[in-house]
Amino acid sequence: MTPIARIPVQMVSGEERREASDALAIEEPLEIRLNHVGPEGSEQRVLSITMRTPGHDDELAAGFLFTEGILRGAEDLREVRPHRPDAPAPGRTNVVQVSLHDHVTVDLQRLERNFYTTSSCGICGKASIEALRAQSPFPPALPGHPPYLSSSLLHRLPQRLRAAQDGFEATGGLHAAALFDASGERLLLREDVGRHNAVDKVLGRALLDGLLPLRAHVLLVSGRASFELVQKASMAGLPCLAAVGAPSSLAVELAQEAGMTLVGFLREGRFNVYSGDWRVV
Protein backbone atom coordinates (compact mmCIF):
# COMPACT_ATOMS: atom_id res chain seq x y z
CA MET A 1 0.00 0.00 0.00
CA THR A 2 1.38 3.39 -0.99
CA PRO A 3 1.88 5.56 2.13
CA ILE A 4 -0.40 8.58 2.38
CA ALA A 5 -0.76 11.53 4.73
CA ARG A 6 -4.01 12.92 6.11
CA ILE A 7 -4.37 16.62 6.90
CA PRO A 8 -7.29 18.79 8.05
CA VAL A 9 -8.86 20.94 5.34
CA GLN A 10 -11.76 23.30 4.83
CA MET A 11 -14.02 21.91 2.11
CA VAL A 12 -16.03 24.53 0.23
CA SER A 13 -19.01 23.72 -1.97
CA GLY A 14 -20.88 26.71 -3.29
CA GLU A 15 -21.50 28.91 -0.24
CA GLU A 16 -21.13 26.03 2.23
CA ARG A 17 -17.93 25.24 4.10
CA ARG A 18 -17.11 22.37 6.45
CA GLU A 19 -14.13 20.84 8.19
CA ALA A 20 -12.83 17.54 6.88
CA SER A 21 -9.62 15.60 6.34
CA ASP A 22 -7.93 14.95 3.01
CA ALA A 23 -5.56 12.18 1.91
CA LEU A 24 -2.38 13.43 0.25
CA ALA A 25 0.47 11.69 -1.53
CA ILE A 26 3.65 11.83 0.56
CA GLU A 27 6.60 13.57 -1.09
CA GLU A 28 10.01 13.40 0.57
CA PRO A 29 13.61 13.62 -0.66
CA LEU A 30 15.65 10.47 -1.20
CA GLU A 31 19.43 10.71 -1.18
CA ILE A 32 21.18 7.97 -3.14
CA ARG A 33 24.75 7.32 -2.01
CA LEU A 34 27.12 5.29 -4.16
CA ASN A 35 29.98 3.20 -2.76
CA HIS A 36 32.49 2.02 -5.36
CA VAL A 37 36.18 1.51 -6.00
CA GLY A 38 37.77 4.51 -7.72
CA PRO A 39 41.32 5.39 -8.80
CA GLU A 40 42.26 6.19 -5.20
CA GLY A 41 40.51 3.26 -3.55
CA SER A 42 37.06 3.01 -2.04
CA GLU A 43 34.92 6.09 -2.59
CA GLN A 44 31.51 7.20 -1.43
CA ARG A 45 29.57 10.06 -2.96
CA VAL A 46 26.06 11.42 -3.00
CA LEU A 47 24.91 10.61 -6.51
CA SER A 48 21.36 11.92 -6.53
CA ILE A 49 18.70 13.64 -4.52
CA THR A 50 15.24 13.03 -5.91
CA MET A 51 11.79 13.84 -4.58
CA ARG A 52 9.78 10.64 -4.31
CA THR A 53 6.97 8.83 -2.50
CA PRO A 54 8.58 6.64 0.22
CA GLY A 55 8.53 2.91 -0.36
CA HIS A 56 10.47 0.52 -2.60
CA ASP A 57 13.54 2.76 -2.24
CA ASP A 58 15.90 -0.12 -3.07
CA GLU A 59 14.08 -0.61 -6.36
CA LEU A 60 14.17 3.11 -7.10
CA ALA A 61 17.92 3.31 -6.48
CA ALA A 62 18.67 0.18 -8.53
CA GLY A 63 16.43 1.29 -11.38
CA PHE A 64 17.89 4.79 -11.42
CA LEU A 65 21.49 3.54 -11.52
CA PHE A 66 20.64 1.05 -14.27
CA THR A 67 18.78 3.49 -16.50
CA GLU A 68 21.60 6.03 -16.07
CA GLY A 69 24.05 3.43 -17.39
CA ILE A 70 26.01 3.08 -14.13
CA LEU A 71 24.88 -0.53 -13.66
CA ARG A 72 25.01 -3.05 -16.48
CA GLY A 73 23.09 -5.68 -14.54
CA ALA A 74 22.24 -7.06 -11.11
CA GLU A 75 25.65 -8.75 -10.98
CA ASP A 76 27.23 -5.29 -10.51
CA LEU A 77 25.39 -4.76 -7.23
CA ARG A 78 26.95 -5.80 -3.96
CA GLU A 79 24.23 -4.36 -1.74
CA VAL A 80 21.36 -1.87 -1.70
CA ARG A 81 20.19 -0.88 1.75
CA PRO A 82 18.74 2.04 3.67
CA HIS A 83 21.34 4.10 5.51
CA ARG A 84 20.66 4.48 9.21
CA PRO A 85 22.81 6.52 11.60
CA ASP A 86 24.35 4.98 14.71
CA ALA A 87 21.38 6.07 16.78
CA PRO A 88 18.53 5.65 14.32
CA ALA A 89 15.30 7.47 14.87
CA PRO A 90 12.12 5.41 14.61
CA GLY A 91 10.48 5.21 11.21
CA ARG A 92 11.82 5.30 7.70
CA THR A 93 15.05 6.78 6.42
CA ASN A 94 15.45 9.05 3.42
CA VAL A 95 18.93 7.82 2.49
CA VAL A 96 19.77 4.65 0.57
CA GLN A 97 23.30 3.29 0.07
CA VAL A 98 24.25 1.37 -3.04
CA SER A 99 27.49 -0.62 -2.96
CA LEU A 100 29.03 -1.95 -6.17
CA HIS A 101 31.36 -4.91 -6.62
CA ASP A 102 35.05 -4.10 -7.00
CA HIS A 103 35.12 -5.04 -10.71
CA VAL A 104 32.64 -2.29 -11.64
CA THR A 105 34.21 0.77 -13.26
CA VAL A 106 32.27 3.99 -12.74
CA ASP A 107 33.06 6.81 -15.15
CA LEU A 108 31.37 9.65 -13.31
CA GLN A 109 32.89 12.33 -15.56
CA ARG A 110 31.05 10.82 -18.51
CA LEU A 111 27.85 11.30 -16.56
CA GLU A 112 28.40 15.03 -16.35
CA ARG A 113 25.12 16.47 -15.13
CA ASN A 114 23.39 17.93 -12.14
CA PHE A 115 21.87 14.93 -10.39
CA TYR A 116 19.32 16.98 -8.44
CA THR A 117 15.91 16.12 -9.86
CA THR A 118 12.40 17.11 -8.93
CA SER A 119 9.26 15.00 -8.83
CA SER A 120 7.98 16.64 -12.02
CA CYS A 121 11.15 16.52 -14.12
CA GLY A 122 13.69 13.74 -13.97
CA ILE A 123 16.11 15.26 -16.49
CA CYS A 124 16.40 18.84 -15.23
CA GLY A 125 20.05 19.85 -15.18
CA LYS A 126 21.26 17.51 -17.90
CA ALA A 127 24.36 18.97 -19.52
CA SER A 128 23.12 18.24 -23.03
CA ILE A 129 20.81 16.05 -25.05
CA GLU A 130 23.81 13.87 -25.95
CA ALA A 131 24.38 13.12 -22.26
CA LEU A 132 20.86 11.70 -22.11
CA ARG A 133 21.46 9.04 -24.70
CA ALA A 134 22.70 6.33 -22.35
CA GLN A 135 23.58 3.15 -24.22
CA SER A 136 21.49 0.12 -23.40
CA PRO A 137 23.38 -3.11 -22.63
CA PHE A 138 20.84 -4.86 -24.86
CA PRO A 139 20.52 -4.56 -28.64
CA PRO A 140 17.48 -2.65 -29.95
CA ALA A 141 14.22 -4.38 -30.77
CA LEU A 142 14.11 -5.34 -34.44
CA PRO A 143 11.18 -5.13 -36.88
CA GLY A 144 9.55 -8.49 -37.43
CA HIS A 145 10.40 -9.81 -33.97
CA PRO A 146 7.65 -10.50 -31.39
CA PRO A 147 5.79 -9.64 -29.32
CA TYR A 148 2.87 -8.71 -31.51
CA LEU A 149 0.15 -6.84 -29.64
CA SER A 150 -3.52 -6.76 -30.57
CA SER A 151 -5.40 -3.49 -30.33
CA SER A 152 -7.96 -5.20 -28.07
CA LEU A 153 -5.21 -6.15 -25.63
CA LEU A 154 -3.88 -2.58 -25.54
CA HIS A 155 -7.40 -1.25 -24.94
CA ARG A 156 -7.68 -3.42 -21.80
CA LEU A 157 -4.46 -2.23 -20.16
CA PRO A 158 -5.55 1.20 -18.81
CA GLN A 159 -8.42 -0.33 -16.85
CA ARG A 160 -6.08 -2.95 -15.39
CA LEU A 161 -3.66 -0.18 -14.43
CA ARG A 162 -6.37 1.99 -12.89
CA ALA A 163 -7.88 -0.88 -10.91
CA ALA A 164 -4.57 -1.40 -9.06
CA GLN A 165 -3.81 2.28 -8.31
CA ASP A 166 -4.64 2.26 -4.60
CA GLY A 167 -2.60 5.37 -3.90
CA PHE A 168 -4.21 7.35 -6.72
CA GLU A 169 -7.65 6.20 -5.58
CA ALA A 170 -6.96 7.65 -2.12
CA THR A 171 -5.15 10.85 -3.10
CA GLY A 172 -5.62 11.63 -6.80
CA GLY A 173 -1.99 12.74 -6.80
CA LEU A 174 0.20 9.81 -7.83
CA HIS A 175 1.60 8.57 -11.12
CA ALA A 176 1.78 4.86 -11.87
CA ALA A 177 3.85 2.55 -14.04
CA ALA A 178 2.89 -1.06 -14.69
CA LEU A 179 4.62 -3.95 -16.43
CA PHE A 180 2.47 -6.36 -18.43
CA ASP A 181 3.36 -9.52 -20.30
CA ALA A 182 2.33 -10.08 -23.91
CA SER A 183 -0.97 -11.65 -22.82
CA GLY A 184 -1.94 -8.54 -20.83
CA GLU A 185 -1.28 -9.96 -17.36
CA ARG A 186 -0.08 -7.31 -14.93
CA LEU A 187 3.23 -8.37 -13.37
CA LEU A 188 4.35 -5.25 -11.49
CA LEU A 189 2.88 -1.87 -10.56
CA ARG A 190 4.44 1.00 -8.64
CA GLU A 191 3.10 4.46 -7.77
CA ASP A 192 5.02 7.66 -7.05
CA VAL A 193 4.66 11.44 -7.14
CA GLY A 194 7.25 11.36 -9.95
CA ARG A 195 6.45 9.44 -13.13
CA HIS A 196 10.16 8.75 -13.67
CA ASN A 197 10.42 7.34 -10.13
CA ALA A 198 7.49 4.99 -10.72
CA VAL A 199 9.24 3.67 -13.84
CA ASP A 200 12.58 3.32 -12.02
CA LYS A 201 10.86 1.32 -9.26
CA VAL A 202 9.34 -1.10 -11.78
CA LEU A 203 12.58 -1.51 -13.73
CA GLY A 204 14.61 -1.74 -10.52
CA ARG A 205 12.43 -4.61 -9.32
CA ALA A 206 12.83 -6.35 -12.68
CA LEU A 207 16.61 -5.85 -12.46
CA LEU A 208 16.82 -7.24 -8.92
CA ASP A 209 14.68 -10.25 -9.93
CA GLY A 210 16.90 -11.03 -12.93
CA LEU A 211 14.16 -10.38 -15.50
CA LEU A 212 16.11 -8.09 -17.83
CA PRO A 213 15.99 -7.71 -20.76
CA LEU A 214 12.20 -7.34 -20.88
CA ARG A 215 11.85 -8.56 -24.46
CA ALA A 216 8.21 -9.73 -24.30
CA HIS A 217 6.64 -7.03 -22.16
CA VAL A 218 4.72 -3.76 -22.29
CA LEU A 219 5.31 -0.84 -19.94
CA LEU A 220 2.26 1.39 -19.36
CA VAL A 221 2.55 4.80 -17.67
CA SER A 222 -0.34 6.84 -16.34
CA GLY A 223 0.82 10.22 -17.66
CA ARG A 224 2.65 11.45 -20.73
CA ALA A 225 5.55 9.72 -22.49
CA SER A 226 8.64 11.90 -22.15
CA PHE A 227 12.07 11.38 -23.71
CA GLU A 228 13.38 10.14 -20.36
CA LEU A 229 10.73 7.43 -20.01
CA VAL A 230 11.45 6.14 -23.52
CA GLN A 231 15.14 6.07 -22.64
CA LYS A 232 14.49 4.10 -19.46
CA ALA A 233 12.28 1.62 -21.32
CA SER A 234 14.91 1.25 -24.05
CA MET A 235 17.63 0.57 -21.48
CA ALA A 236 15.57 -2.34 -20.14
CA GLY A 237 15.07 -3.83 -23.61
CA LEU A 238 11.33 -3.14 -23.65
CA PRO A 239 9.72 -3.45 -27.10
CA CYS A 240 6.67 -1.33 -26.24
CA LEU A 241 5.94 1.72 -24.12
CA ALA A 242 2.34 2.89 -23.83
CA ALA A 243 1.11 6.06 -22.18
CA VAL A 244 -2.29 7.36 -21.17
CA GLY A 245 -1.10 10.84 -22.21
CA ALA A 246 0.83 12.38 -25.08
CA PRO A 247 4.43 11.72 -26.12
CA SER A 248 6.94 14.46 -26.88
CA SER A 249 8.61 14.85 -30.26
CA LEU A 250 11.97 13.76 -28.84
CA ALA A 251 10.35 10.71 -27.25
CA VAL A 252 9.06 9.66 -30.67
CA GLU A 253 12.48 10.22 -32.23
CA LEU A 254 14.22 8.04 -29.66
CA ALA A 255 11.55 5.30 -29.89
CA GLN A 256 12.08 5.16 -33.66
CA GLU A 257 15.86 4.89 -33.19
CA ALA A 258 15.39 2.10 -30.63
CA GLY A 259 12.91 0.08 -32.72
CA MET A 260 10.34 0.52 -29.96
CA THR A 261 6.58 0.67 -30.35
CA LEU A 262 5.38 3.90 -28.75
CA VAL A 263 1.66 4.27 -28.04
CA GLY A 264 0.08 7.47 -26.76
CA PHE A 265 -3.39 8.63 -25.68
CA LEU A 266 -4.26 5.05 -24.69
CA ARG A 267 -7.66 5.68 -23.13
CA GLU A 268 -11.38 5.61 -23.80
CA GLY A 269 -11.10 2.91 -26.42
CA ARG A 270 -8.56 4.66 -28.64
CA PHE A 271 -4.83 5.21 -29.05
CA ASN A 272 -2.22 6.58 -31.44
CA VAL A 273 0.85 4.61 -32.57
CA TYR A 274 3.83 6.94 -33.00
CA SER A 275 6.55 4.37 -33.66
CA GLY A 276 6.74 0.65 -34.46
CA ASP A 277 3.18 0.30 -35.80
CA TRP A 278 4.06 -3.08 -37.33
CA ARG A 279 4.00 -4.59 -33.82
CA VAL A 280 0.31 -3.70 -33.32
CA VAL A 281 -1.80 -6.27 -35.21
User: Catalytic positions, please?
Assistant: 121
* Of 165, 172, 225, residue with least CA distance to 190: 165
Using CA atoms, how far residue 177 sits from 1, 136, 154, 174, 198, in Å, is 15, 20, 15, 10, 5
Does 162 show up as a binding residue in the annotation? no
As a whole number of Å, the CA-based R_g of the chain is 20
The rounded distance, in Å, linking the Cα atoms of 104 and 75 is 10
270 in a known ligand binding site: yes
77 known ligand binder: no
User: CA dist 211 to 25, 26, 148, 217, 232, Å?
Assistant: 29, 29, 20, 11, 15
55 is in an annotated binding site: no
CA distance 120 to 112: 21
The CA distance from 72 to 68, in Å, is: 10
Binding region? 265-270
